[in-house]
Chain A
Amino acid sequence: MILSPEVLSILILDVIFLFFSLIALILSIKIFLNWDINSTSKTQYKLEKQSFLTATIIKYIFAIKLPLFLFFIFTLDKISSVLTGAMCAAGVVDATQYGTYLFILKILNIYIFGFWLLIHHLDIKDEHLSLTKAKFGFFIFAFFIFVSEIILELTMFLAIDIDKMVSCCGTLYSNSATSYISNIFLIDTPILLTLFYGNFIVIVISYFMKKKYIFTLANFFFLIISIISIISFFGTYIYELPTHHCPFCFLQKDYYYVGYFIYTSLFLGTFNGLATGFINKFNISMIFNIIFTLLISAYPIIFYIKNGVWL
């Protein structure tokens, strides 16, 4: 097990989250089962007060969880220095069989909590609180994914063996790797770039035509294609190395922490894009998607201007 101050902070926060989310779960179940906004009974008035408390707990968990995701990546990067073979967070993620699943679960949970907040926002704007039951029903579902993340996080940190040699990101994200990640490199670059920019054009067109469902769907695909494009193509221009495809290294100081800006703009753009199916978030999604696309496209263009060749 690895127990650096950063890991300890994350684990302590996990315990606090677990405690408060359990309270929120119990209250959510009560609200979900007994909510009747038309009732004037003692139980209903009590539930109305409890719904306020529960929503506050969930909001605060999310408020801490969002920056904690960035802190988690920072922690993985930091502890990579004590694992033999690891050069960045990618090595730590791959150090145990749980890392990749934990990473996916963490991103999934951010989206889930974001959607919960969205439903909550719509609910409190409605005088009749018509989404309260759905909101807490959704939290009951989210709780189990959230708890899975906490368990997996604890398991991962417990399973890390600092005496065991791990693979570096150069090996994990290479054309010769045998993992499922290597399948990404089977896609031809021109096809990948056509998909990436084609998808972006669909987003722009659906934005101007205000076609919310096309916009939402295009954002979903944009998230997936963008991550693949970063690993397969754009990352190499950030590193200026044709063989280096790691999606984590550019989060480090050597690359001016540009990864945090790239991922934040991608997640904010696509999250708001996905949310557009329920609530008008066209503008905010478009702003972040443009920032992301400009930022990520700038690297190959600048490289070409400077060197006169593509990698």
Chain B
Amino acid sequence: MIKIKNVSKIYTINKNNTVTALNNIDLNFKEGELIVLKGASGSGKSTILSLIAALSKPTTGEVIVDDKRISKLPDRFASLYRRENIGFIFQKYNLIPTLSVQKNILLPLVPSNPDEQEAQKKLEIVMKKFNISHKKDAIVRNLSGGEQQRVAIARAHINDPKIIIADEPTANLDEKLSIHFIEILKELKSTNKTIIVATHDPLFFDLDFVDKVIEVYNGNIVS
């Protein structure tokens, strides 16, 4: 489903200063797999996620998702691809703090301008699924870290994306909430979503439902 072929990513800071984030890597992920990318900060995990999400383009090589060369997509088509296929869960949640829970969750639907009833139906389903219905009118900045994380997951899920990308999703959570998040991941995996998690949290490394643990070190795939 996801193929990363000979991909390098070099960030140019100035003429004499470049950072090689990824060095000629090859990866293959199948549909419905849960993949954990592990490695220290700056190893290149987030760069892999941003390439799969078509948030950035490689310096060389290509990324193919469902036979579509997404690294070659022009910006407007990349946005469309993201809107239809990708759900994001970020380390700092990236919610809009002044909006309510339901408005934050509904945000990914705004560009496609869906029927209001249909949107409300989807909203009810995801809020129930991630146990956040009771807080639907609460302003996001007043929620706890765990609740904000559930809102972020619900938002990632509302478009029913094929791929869910989570970048350091438990970095701001305590162990109890992290375990709860892992349970949610397990549930998502059972719905045949492809899930890619970039983390250095050891809780993820020995889970029985994880299909692959890939170690990234200095822009290279170690194992």
Residues of A within 8 A of B (CB): 37, 40-42, 45, 48, 52, 124, 127, 129
Contacts and interface: CB of A to CB of B under 8 A. Distances in A.
Contact of B60 (A45, A124, A129): A45
Given A37-B72, A42-B60, A45-B57, 12 more contacts: A40-B6, A40-B60, A40-B61, A40-B71, A40-B72, A42-B59, A45-B58, A45-B60, A48-B72, A48-B74, A124-B74, A127-B74
B203 to A, nearest CB: 36
B75 interface: yes
A42 B77 CA distance: 21
B76 A48 contact: no
A45 B58 CA distance: 8
5 contacts: A41-B60, A45-B59, A48-B57, A48-B72, A127-B77
A129 B74 contact: yes
Contacts of A129: 74
Interface of B: 5-6, 57-62, 71-77
A124 B76 contact: yes
B109 to A, nearest CB: 23
A52 B75 contact: yes
User: Which of A37, A40, A48 gathers most chain B CB within 10 Å?
Assistant: A40
A120 B72 CA distance: 18
A9 B72 CA distance: 42
Contacts of A48: 57, 72, 74
Contacts of A42: 59-60
Nearest to A132: B74
Nearest to A129: B74
Contacts of A40: 5-6, 58, 60-62, 71-72
Nearest to B73: A127
Nearest to A46: B59
Nearest to B7: A40
Contacts of B73: 127
A176 to B, nearest CB: 59
A40 B76 CA distance: 19
A39 to B, nearest CB: 9
A89 B17 CA distance: 57
A127 B57 CA distance: 15
B74 to A, nearest CB: 6
A59 to B, nearest CB: 15
A166 B59 CA distance: 62
B69 to A, nearest CB: 8
A40 B62 CA distance: 6
A45 B57 CA distance: 8
User: Which of B6, B71, B74 gathers most chain A CB within 10 Å?
Assistant: B74
> 5 closest A-B pairs (Cβ-Cβ)?
A40-B62, A127-B77, A42-B60, A42-B59, A40-B61
Contacts of B72: 37, 40, 48
B71 to A, nearest CB: 7
A55 to B, nearest CB: 11
B159 to A, nearest CB: 20
A63 to B, nearest CB: 19
A48 B71 CA distance: 11
A42 to B, nearest CB: 5
A121 to B, nearest CB: 12
A52 B57 CA distance: 14
Contacts of A127: 73-74, 77
Nearest to B5: A40
A24 to B, nearest CB: 19
Contacts of B58: 40, 45
User: Which of B60, B72, B73 gathers most chain A CB within 10 Å?
Assistant: B72
Nearest to A126: B74
B72 to A, nearest CB: 7
Contacts of B71: 40
A127 B54 CA distance: 14
A179 B74 CA distance: 53
A37 B75 CA distance: 14
Contacts of A37: 72
A52 B75 CA distance: 10
Nearest to A127: B77
A52 B76 CA distance: 12
Contacts of B57: 45, 48
Contacts of A41: 60
Nearest to B59: A42
Contacts of B5: 40
B53 to A, nearest CB: 17
A38 to B, nearest CB: 8
Contacts of B60: 40-42, 45
Nearest to B81: A127
A40 B59 CA distance: 8
